[in-house]
């Protein structure tokens, strides 16, 4: 089948993927996050959903009957509802795949093949196609057929073993890092293969195992194991190789400081008024301070308890020591730097409800990408996509 010609990319420097067509067969988090990252950079992303919609559409909070969780991962996309077990619907999916530059799917391995929409079948029709498969453990191997969610991947990949307080129950990271790490890796690999295609090369298949990407972002923990033969252990907010580098209790709450070298350690001692600790043999280097950080914490805690969080933050700011309050998301989003970075963007949901979302956090050539923050209603673009022989505008 001949390859269709695409219009040249738009000149907007913040939309380097303009002109790229993406077909997303994904639900919940990892795949939709990947698709959203591509849409933020200008790709035209069609989200193919089952007739009942992506399961994330049911997750609260619901504003005007529309899920804000769904909106946060599906902005700037078009929605098409298809029953891929129906032959007529599959025919439409194949037509759209023939016009796509990228396919993203996060089904269990084998599902897309059984539907006739797998990598091998679609690449045979379109050799320059970039096809990304996100799954729990990868497309093959002893666990390749297993499903998984962020929690089970965090457990299997070691994250829960190093999260929480020493001696406490296993704790997952509060942010779904397995989902989003895999989505980031997928988007990064897709962009790399698109560069190859634009240079005249072939497309390719990106196999993104959540298990593997979650181990990959744990480079400091895996290297600790390789170097010592021992499993890293949970340390709460502390660091295995630096101290003071954790949260501490002030008179009215908690704050964090990160003194990752001797210069900053000296600044901490001067600020707290414990310069005698600079000559203590237990604390002469970052490695020694980390080894003796419980003793160090016991020496610092009484001083921190005498003043407020605001006082300590001001003092460490003046001393040049990296510091932060323990923010909730209300406080983090209200930080003046969040305003400067233009992170909080207005968003209007399909029913008309006005809300907000966190937009693209990057700058390209000094500009914040102009992101379409509106998420689609279920099958909002279905009629146009079913009727058109090619692609119809949003």
Q: Are 367 and 359 in contact (CB under 8 A)?
A: no
Instruction: Report d(CA 299, CA 297) in Å as an integer.
Output: 5
Candidates 86, 179, 335, 365; catalytic one: 179
Kindly give, in sequence order, each residue whose CB lies less than 8 Å from that of residue 336, ignoring residues fewer than 6 positions away: none
Q: Vertex 206, ends 81 and 374: CA angle to 5°?
A: 40
279 is catalytic: no
Cβ within 8 Å of residue 324, ≥6 positions away: 255, 256, 313
Catalytic residue IDs: 179
């Amino acid at each position: 089948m001949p390859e269709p010609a695409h219009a040249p990319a738009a000149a907007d420097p913040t939309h380097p993927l303009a002109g790229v067509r993406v077909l997303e067969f994904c639900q919940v988090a990892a795949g939709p996050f990947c698709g959203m990252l591509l849409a933020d950079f200008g790709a035209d992303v069609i989200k193919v959903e089952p007739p009942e919609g992506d399961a994330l559409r049911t997750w609260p909070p619901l504003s005007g009957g529309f899920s804000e969780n769904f909106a946060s991962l599906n902005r700037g996309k078009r929605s098409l509802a298809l029953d891929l077990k129906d032959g007529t619907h599959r025919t439409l999916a194949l037509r759209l795949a023939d016009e796509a530059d990228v396919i993203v799917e996060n089904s269990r391995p084998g599902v897309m093949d059984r539907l006739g929409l797998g990598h091998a079948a679609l690449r045979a029709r379109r050799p320059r196609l970039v096809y990304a498969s996100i799954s729990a453990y990868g497309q093959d191997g002893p666990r390749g057929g297993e499903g998984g969610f962020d929690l089970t991947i965090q457990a299997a990949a070691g994250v829960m073993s190093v999260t929480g307080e020493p001696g406490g129950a296993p704790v997952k990271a509060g942010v779904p890092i397995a989902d989003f790490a895999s989505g980031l890796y997928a988007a990064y690999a897709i962009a790399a293969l698109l560069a190859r295609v634009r240079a005249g090369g072939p497309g390719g298949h990106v196999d993104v195992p959540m298990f593997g990407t979650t181990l990959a972002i744990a480079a400091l923990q895996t290297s600790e194991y390789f170097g010592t033969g021992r499993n890293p252990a949970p340390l709460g907010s502390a660091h295995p190789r630096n101290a003071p580098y954790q949260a501490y209790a002030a008179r009215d709450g908690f704050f964090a400081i990160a003194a990752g070298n001797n210069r900053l350690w000296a600044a901490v001692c001067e600020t707290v008024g414990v310069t005698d600790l600079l000559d203590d043999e237990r604390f002469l280097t970052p490695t020694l301070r980390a080894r003796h950080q419980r003793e160090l914490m016991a020496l610092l805690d009484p001083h921190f308890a005498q003043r407020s969080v605001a006082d300590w933050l001001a003092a460490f700011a003046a001393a040049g020591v990296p510091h932060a309050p323990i923010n909730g998301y209300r406080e983090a989003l209200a930080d003046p730097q969040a305003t400067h970075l233009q992170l909080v963007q207005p968003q209007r949901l399909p029913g008309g409800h006005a809300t907000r979302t966190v937009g693209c956090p990057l700058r390209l050539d000094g500009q914040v990408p102009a992101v379409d923050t509106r998420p689609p209603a279920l099958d909002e673009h279905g009629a146009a996509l079913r009727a058109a022989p090619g692609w119809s505008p949003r």
